[in-house]
Structure 1
Amino acid sequence: MKRLQAHYLIETGIDPEKAVATMAGEQSTGTFVKIPGETGELMEKYAAKTESMEILGSSPYPSLPFAKKSEGKIHRVRVTLSWPVENIGLNLPNLMATVAGNLFELSPFSGLKLLDIDVPDAYQGNFPCPKFGIRGTYEKLGFDNRPVIGTIIKPSVGLDARATAQQVKQLVQAGLDFIKDDELMGSPSYNRFEDRVEACMAVINDHADRTGRKPMYAFNISGTIDEMLRRHDFVLEKGGTCIMLNLLWVGVSSIQHIASHSQLPIHGHRNGWGIFSRHPYLGIEYSAMSKVWRLAGVDQLHTNGLRNKFCEPDESVITSIKSCQQPLWSPGDRAMPVLSSGQWAGQAFDTYQAVGNTELMYLCGGGIMGHPSGIQAGVESIKDAWKAAMEGMDIAQARKKYNSVNEAFAFFG
């Protein structure tokens, strides 16, 4: 594919063809009047093109305010636009400005959502992309035949470095594969980043020396670019194996810069994503944004999990998981989906059935820490539930075979 393509769901009260022409003009060569220099040759070479347009139906009322008044029906339309790569260059901020810039403010639209993008072949080899991704994450952990089981340090804020390390010691001794900072934990005065890394990595390195097994801790390095570079280097120096970024707030250029520098997997947290996704006729679908983050170099991407505590429906979660696992060009550029939010042993069965593989992270907070028989049993309940699901057991069979799973269902279910 030679051109960048983007797929949209639009809602408009004017003629759909006129509305789509407005989209294409706004995001390439056009303005509100014909201007000098707008030659046919220039338009042919650089204007956005409408690749397809499908009328899906109509709505009795507009989804969003401040649009132009309807000339009759309010049309709902699926649209695909394309652009020459020359317009954008090897530039992710320009890519986002092209596919998701002023479009959302155009008055003909009472709804507009970017559904997905198709990345042109010219981009292959020109962006960081995941250096580790699914394969590299498993290689660092030393297994690849099941999900990565993990948790988040809680309370989110308030613990000092010593208390954090004590919690990490409990968790790694219980058999967890992965631990992460909460996205709110930066470098407060009572738990400075360097103190936390030093204390936690002392515990993890000691555990690795004794057992030959090194769990992964994703330290939140989010900050200015200079801070993030220094923090990455400090984690690496102390033997750490993962860093975390708050993707929306550090920005795509910062992600790309850190990824080009990084020698560690990047764990991408998408906090704030509801701003872009929650309204069905406004924003960006995860399939589109996750591809941009992967081009920038993110190795592990949050997707939510089934029956999560947020508003995202299960169908959307499954689509997000599969999008991360789908190659851009090759298996090496896939990102590991990170399932979290209200997960416990109970969702393992339908998650496995829906996704069809175990190439994912499964993060449980209360599902591990809140298990009635303690943290060790909480970890065992998650691992045993996934083992049962992979063996084709149903919930009743798993509860009968594994006491930790049975206790989890009795308590959480």
Structure 2
Amino acid sequence: MIRATYHVETPCPIAEVAAMMAGEQSAGTFVRVEGETDALRDRFGARVVETTQIGESPAPSLRSAWAERKGLDGPCGIFRVVIDYPEDNVGVNLPTLASVVAGNLYDLGEVTGLKLIDVTLTSDYRRRYPMPVQGIAGTRASLGVQDRPIFGTIIKPNIGLSPDQIAALVARLAQAGADFVKDDEIAGTHPHAPVDARIRAVMDVVRRHQDRTGKLVMVAFNITDETDAMRRHADLIEAEGGSCAMVSLNWCGLSAVESLRRHTGLAIHGHRNGYGGMGRHPLLGMGVRAYQALYRLAGIDHMHVHGMGGKFSDLDQDVTEAARHCLTAMADEDRVMPVFSSGQWAGTLPHTLRQIDSDDLMFLCGGGIMAHPGGPAAGLASLRQAHEAVRAGTPLDQAACDRPELAAALATFGKG
């Protein structure tokens, strides 16, 4: 079975609403129709597992023309609803799976708030979808980093640089010791910096650095585009010796990401920009566990989770939940690398590591590396020093006494 968990607000009896949800998304509709036999319902009908009240709203959170026509403008119950859907209703079809667990549920008149919280699958069913090609182990092996987080940064300025300027910046970051460098989410195939020109220019300096040092820096080129273009860009990255492609998941969609996964052996760096539109409201959209489960079925290798104490709206508990979900296998070794970013620096690393209780993460700092007063090399050194301090159980301010790069980071970024 495919199990979906929801938070549902309704002014109506929850048993009736949950049964309607199960019917709407499986073998039923608002009236019984010809051919809808008991045997068909038994085989293909969804089953309500749980309806538990978890709160109450004084008034509907979202408008419903249906509820307004009925005069249902008073208090609404908020419920945890769990529904099991037969796997045979989906087969192996990721967009259909998403349609089944979400679909028209958001539009039901009896519902004045609905959020898909989680989607859980049997391990056998999960194996029928693409797995990560590199995941955590492959990403570490590619970078030669095994005993600490992967430290990296983002191309800044994020737009306006020519391919040669971007390549020069990547060369500087590689020399400084970065493990990983990524394009920003708004970096597309601009007239001033077409993606194919960026790939060629950047990979030239990456190969030169690897020839000199033996270290391959992973660069996540943003190839977000229509599906055929993404395939072409991925082919060019591979031909140039690259190892990673970045995709803005929400704007490409499940099908395009799954198609890209089946086409390429590159690590797919999943950027979730726009997820706030789905996730920020407590009674609308999709929770991070459900969201990540669907995109993990598309076979991504890395997933952005934002950051602790960063510049975005996420609570630390939200970021922790997202990262721990990435690090929990759905089947076999299908864990994905959580990617922390947004206002991160050496001072936010200890809390992150305590919350996640794992070094299996990417820790990306824009200003925390690029704006370090000692330059990018000092910014990266401050991250490694912060990690060493955490391992030794030493507070950062004490560790900074004989680590000037960390001391400078604390003085510069710790003021806020």
Work out the CA distance in 1 between the residues paired with 2:72 and 2:139.
52
Kindly indicate whether the alpha-carbon contact (under 8 Å) linking 1:113 and 1:284 is maintained by their aligned counterparts in 2: yes
Work out the CA distance in 2 between the residues paired with 1:376 and 1:65.
53
In the other structure, the counterpart of 1:154 is 156
The residue type equivalent to 1:8 in the other structure is Y
In the other structure, the counterpart of 2:410 is 409
The residue type equivalent to 2:47 in the other structure is K
TM-score (norm 1): 0.97
Measured against aligned partners, the alpha-carbon deviations of 1:299-324 in whole angstroms (never above 9, x if no partner) come to 00000010121111110000000000
1:89-104 mapped onto 2 (5 Å cutoff): 89-104=91-106
1:335-350 mapped onto 2 (5 Å cutoff): 335-350=336-351
In the other structure, the counterpart of 2:201 is 199
Could you tell me which of 324, 327, 334 is aligned with 1:322? 324
Q: Relative to 1, partners in 2 of residues 1:27 and 1:412: Cα closer, same or farther, differing over 3 Å?
A: same
Work out the CA distance in 2 between the residues paired with 1:81 and 1:392.
45
Q: Secondary structure at the match of 2:277?
A: helix
Work out the CA distance in 1 between the residues paired with 2:379 and 2:213.
21
> By how many angstroms is 1:390 displaced?
2.2
Kindly indicate whether the alpha-carbon contact (under 8 Å) linking 2:124 and 2:331 is maintained by their aligned counterparts in 1: no
Work out the CA distance in 1 between the residues paired with 2:225 and 2:15.
44
1:62-211 mapped onto 2 (5 Å cutoff): 62-66=60-64, 68=67, 69-70=71-72, 73-211=75-213
In the other structure, the counterpart of 2:365 is 364
In the other structure, the counterpart of 1:222 is 224
Kindly indicate whether the alpha-carbon contact (under 8 Å) linking 1:52 and 1:81 is maintained by their aligned counterparts in 2: yes
In the other structure, the counterpart of 1:238 is 240
Q: Secondary structure at the match of 2:62?
A: coil
> By how many angstroms is 1:288 displaced?
1.1
Which deviates more from structure 2 when the two are superposed, residues 102-111 or residues 55-64?
Answer: 55-64
Q: Secondary structure at the match of 1:327?
A: coil
Kindly indicate whether the alpha-carbon contact (under 8 Å) linking 2:178 and 2:380 is maintained by their aligned counterparts in 1: yes
The residue type equivalent to 2:14 in the other structure is P
Work out the CA distance in 1 between the residues paired with 2:310 and 2:107.
31
Kindly indicate whether the alpha-carbon contact (under 8 Å) linking 2:58 and 2:74 is maintained by their aligned counterparts in 1: no
> By how many angstroms is 1:34 displaced?
2.1
Work out the CA distance in 1 between the residues paired with 2:179 and 2:61.
44
The residue type equivalent to 1:219 in the other structure is F
Measured against aligned partners, the alpha-carbon deviations of 1:55-98 in whole angstroms (never above 9, x if no partner) come to 11212122222261438641110011011111011000000000
Kindly indicate whether the alpha-carbon contact (under 8 Å) linking 1:12 and 1:109 is maintained by their aligned counterparts in 2: yes
In the other structure, the counterpart of 1:47 is 45
Which deviates more from structure 2 when the two are superposed, residues 394-403 or residues 158-167?
Answer: 394-403
Q: Secondary structure at the match of 1:362?
A: strand
> By how many angstroms is 1:141 displaced?
0.3
Could you tell me which of 4, 17, 20 is aligned with 1:19? 17
Runs of 4+ in 1 over 3 A off after TM superposition: 69-73
> By how many angstroms is 1:280 displaced?
0.9
Q: Secondary structure at the match of 1:50?
A: strand
Which deviates more from structure 2 when the two are superposed, residues 229-238 or residues 61-70?
Answer: 61-70
Q: Relative to 1, partners in 2 of residues 1:168 and 1:53: Cα closer, same or farther, differing over 3 Å?
A: same
**Superposed CA RMSD:** 1.3
Could you tell me which of 278, 281, 303 is aligned with 1:279? 281
> By how many angstroms is 1:192 displaced?
1.3
Work out the CA distance in 1 between the residues paired with 2:48 and 2:73.
22
In the other structure, the counterpart of 1:59 is 57
Measured against aligned partners, the alpha-carbon deviations of 1:184-213 in whole angstroms (never above 9, x if no partner) come to 111111111121111111111111100111
Of all paired residues, the percent bearing the same amino acid is 42
The residue type equivalent to 2:21 in the other structure is M
Work out the CA distance in 2 between the residues paired with 1:395 and 1:177.
23
Work out the CA distance in 2 between the residues paired with 1:125 and 1:318.
26
TM-score (norm 2): 0.96
Work out the CA distance in 1 between the residues paired with 2:188 and 2:295.
21
Work out the CA distance in 2 between the residues paired with 1:391 and 1:133.
28
In the other structure, the counterpart of 1:333 is 334
Work out the CA distance in 1 between the residues paired with 2:255 and 2:365.
31
Work out the CA distance in 1 between the residues paired with 2:190 and 2:55.
52
In the other structure, the counterpart of 1:393 is 394
Q: Secondary structure at the match of 1:86?
A: helix
> By how many angstroms is 1:274 displaced?
0.7
Q: Relative to 1, partners in 2 of residues 1:219 and 1:65: Cα closer, same or farther, differing over 3 Å?
A: same
The residue type equivalent to 1:248 in the other structure is N
Measured against aligned partners, the alpha-carbon deviations of 1:19-69 in whole angstroms (never above 9, x if no partner) come to 111111111122222222222111111111101111112121222222614
Q: Secondary structure at the match of 2:115?
A: strand
Which deviates more from structure 2 when the two are superposed, residues 63-72 or residues 347-356?
Answer: 63-72
The residue type equivalent to 1:336 in the other structure is M
Q: Secondary structure at the match of 1:333?
A: coil
> By how many angstroms is 1:400 displaced?
2.3
Q: Secondary structure at the match of 1:11?
A: strand
In the other structure, the counterpart of 1:310 is 312
